A and B are shown apart, each in its own frame.
Chain A
Amino acid sequence: MKLSRIITTLLSGLPVTLTLLVFSFIFAAAIGLGIAWLSLRNSAVCYNISRLYLGLVRGTPPLLMLLLAYYGLPKLFLLVGININDWSKLLFGIVGLSVGWSGYLSEAFRSAYLSVDQGQYEAALVVGMNPSDAFWRIIMPQTVLIALPNIENLVIGLVKATSLVYVIGLVDMYSSATDLSNQNQGVYQLEIFVVLALIYWMIVLAIEWVFRSIKKEYQYVTV
């Protein structure tokens, strides 16, 4: 099979892969922040809720998480009388991946937050900032910087996990590859998958480059 055919077919799935990646990451980060916040509150109930959530979410293979999102979530919504079956598959894919990754991100934020020097917060209070300014202007930026290497790893993991949306019939890059392979009875499977691997690798290399640039930008902010 012509290489150009393989590449164009696979790239036709790229927008779905990237959409999944970007939105799942945003939502996962939002949920993760919420869970991290819960677990850091001085409350046994909040802590235990966050632990339970993490235990369930982190013990669930992403494949099952996607199935749960696609088939389980609508059932749950129906219980309160909302029909979300007509949402696009892409949305469910994003939900599944977001929930799946929220656990990891929450842990990344939590540990980063804990490793921010407490003195930074105190110094902010001492110059008269109120606690929320101190948090958002001083602690949060440092937390993100500390979490950056972890976040990078998680984003890369997420890129790879997007390949699992085949299980709910979303046509991403991976599905395009398997379908192309099936069109030819799997004869060119190896070639197609090698190309597929290379494209994923390029995406990851690009992400690594972005993170390297961010790190370089903030190289003097050594937290």
Chain B
Amino acid sequence: HNSSKANSNSSVTTISVAGPDNNRPYTYPDNGKIGGYYGALLGRIDQDLKQYKFKQTTTAQNSVFVGLQSGKYDLAVSNWWYSKDRFNTYLHSTSNGLDDLRLITKKGGKTANSLKDIATKKLTLAPISTDDARYAFIQDYNKKNPKYKINLKGIGDQSAGDALKQVSNGQYDVAIYPYAAYKPVSSTSEGTKLRVSKSIGLENSYFLLNKSDKNEKLLKALNKELKKLKDNGYLGKITKKYLYENTFEFPGANSTFNTDPTK
């Protein structure tokens, strides 16, 4: 059913892929295709899996999931983290990347080195896009740590630059971002006023797929491919290239990467 379409070569299956259009450096629109880390990863997978052809598009993040849910898209790419509901709603791959989470504060202002710090020091956390995995991540944290709850505010699509500006001008005390999102901002005039914490944890990301027989089959191929790319160092290579540091070389990276969050 849905958007799979028999090509001239009937053995090739077309997969429609969507990614958010403002999630640099993970995904962004690049001449009608997906750019950034996942653009590179998809390109490689497309090359390797001859039986699949990946039709790419970018759109607003909530829209990506409306499309994924309705079956318009087969595969959604970005640094999606684990949440139980997501994994129940969609098919998911094994890990396809490793994010390094940091807390960003204002130089000379209040500091935080862990999520618990934010709660105990009563710091205000910059609002997080409700579609963003970080939002669910903090919700999850709050559920697990009812004693040290963080005051979480939602917001619509917002770039890292905007959020970090709010920290640098003192509107909020702290923001949480993967290092990759912080890094490009750090060199801007606002960014030089910021201080970044050490890694407060590593987080896996996954592909999410619309539930269908076609995609079950795709999933198997994807998982096999991801394992190959991890093992041959391709993931590490593009992580270094697009995300500014090779998180796969971090201590504990291997065990984190290979854990199954559903267990």
Contact = CB atoms under 8 A, between A and B. Distances in A.
Contacts of B188: 184-185, 187
Given A67-B63, A169-B63, A184 B161 contact: yes
Given A85-B2, A167-B63, A185-B191, 6 more contacts: A85-B16, A167-B62, A168-B59, A169-B57, A186-B160, A187-B189
Contact of B28 (A78, A166, A182): A182
A201 B201 CA distance: 47
Given A86-B5, A169-B57, A187-B161, A182 B67 contact: no
B95 interface: no
30 contacts: A67-B66, A70-B67, A71-B67, A71-B72, A72-B70, A74-B72, A75-B70, A78-B1, A78-B2, A85-B3, A85-B72, A86-B3, A89-B57, A166-B60, A167-B60, A168-B59, A169-B21, A169-B58, A169-B59, A179-B28, A179-B29, A181-B159, A182-B24, A183-B24, A185-B164, A185-B185, A186-B158, A186-B161, A186-B162, A189-B161
Contacts of A213: none
A83 interface: yes
A97 to B, nearest CB: 16
B102 interface: no
A115 B26 CA distance: 57
A182 B184 CA distance: 11
Contacts of B164: 185
B50 to A, nearest CB: 22
B59 A83 contact: no
A178 interface: yes
A166 B16 CA distance: 19
Contacts of A185: 24, 159-161, 164, 184-185, 188, 191
Contacts of B18: 169
A168 B159 contact: no
Contacts of B24: 182-183, 185
A171 interface: yes
Contacts of B67: 70-71
A175 interface: yes
B2 A168 contact: no
Give chain B's interface secondary structure class: mixed
Interface residue range, chain B: 35 or more
B7 to A, nearest CB: 12
A71 B160 CA distance: 28
Interface string A169-181: 1010001001101
Nearest to A170: B59
Contacts of A184: 161, 188
A10 to B, nearest CB: 15
A189 B63 contact: no
Interface string A70-102: 111011001000010110010000000000000
Contacts of B21: 166, 169, 175, 178-179
B114 interface: no
B157 to A, nearest CB: 8
B216 interface: no
A84 to B, nearest CB: 10
A185 to B, nearest CB: 3
A168 B63 contact: yes
Most buried by B among A67, A169, A184: A169
Interface in B67-84: 67, 70-72
B22 interface: yes
Contacts of A85: 2-3, 16, 72
Count chain A CB atoms within 10 A of each CB in B5, B63, B160, B185 and give the residue with the most: B63
Contacts of A67: 63, 66
B3 A167 contact: no
B58 to A, nearest CB: 5
Interface string A145-176: 00000000000000000000011110100010
Nearest to A171: B29
